[in-house]
Amino acid sequence: MKHQNQYSRRDNGPYGKPLSNESLKEQKGHKLYHFQVQSHKKLTESIPTSTPKRLSCNSLPGTKNPRTSCTVINQNKTKDNAFADMPEDEMVQKVPANHMTFKETNNSLRIIPASIESMKYWSQFTDKIGLLYEVLAMLDSAVISGDYGSKTFLLRDGKNNVHCVFHEIDRDLPRLIRGQVHRAMGNYDRRKNLFRCFSVRPASVAEQNTFHEFIAVANVEMENYVSTVNEI
């Protein structure tokens, strides 16, 4: 009787024989798998499907006045769509004619190659632009020492000449030979007709051969600048 009750509690096989331990384990695992599948299915069916709600103007975070926030949003949308169908040419803002600047002028300091004649002519525009001059001319006098370490001499370029002064502050004036072409750089004082030099040295042959071309280019640039200033 004990053996019968023990076998009656077990599941019978296809031929009424009791199942072995391995078969019982396999059958229990199969039932456990089906139970998990059915539980997961019921859990997913119980979760309601929700669609995202559109954020209304009243539910905007941090908005004290919903009407004002709605108005601002609608105005921004209107501005974005205002230029959707407008041609590209009409989108460019037109500037009034009296606000337009045709040319820009640069008033920075310029160093220009010049003859003695052109140096005296361009010096009348020094109130509008700072100018320093590079001059190639022949020494036409002896070098005379003056007060406070100054050295004066005369430079000649064809029929034009100019008095020059060089102050030996941080350097000495090199030895200048009368009748030789020299390269001098400095600022021209129109009132005193005096060329204040800060660099004087003998000019090389290459500089003498190409200096006329540099003068021509500088004259063109200065004429363009003067015409631009007069238009403004």
| Residuewise pLDDT in 10s, the chain (232 residues) | 444 444 444 445 554 555 566 666 666 666 666 666 566 555 556 555 555 555 555 545 555 555 555 555 555 555 555 555 656 555 555 555 444 444 455 677 889 999 999 999 999 988 888 899 999 999 999 999 998 889 999 999 989 999 999 999 888 999 999 999 999 999 999 999 999 999 999 999 999 999 999 999 999 999 988 888 777 6
Phi and psi torsions of 21, nearest 5°: -65, -40
Quick check: helix, strand or coil at residue 111? Answer: strand
Euclidean distance between CA atoms 42 and 29, whole angstroms:
20
Question: What CATH code is assigned to 110-231?
Answer: 2.40.50.140
Domain limits, the chain: 110-231
Going by C-alpha positions, the residue among 212, 102, 199 that lies closest to residue 157 is 212
Find the largest Cα–Cα distance for the chain.
151
The pTM assigned to this predicted structure is: 0.54
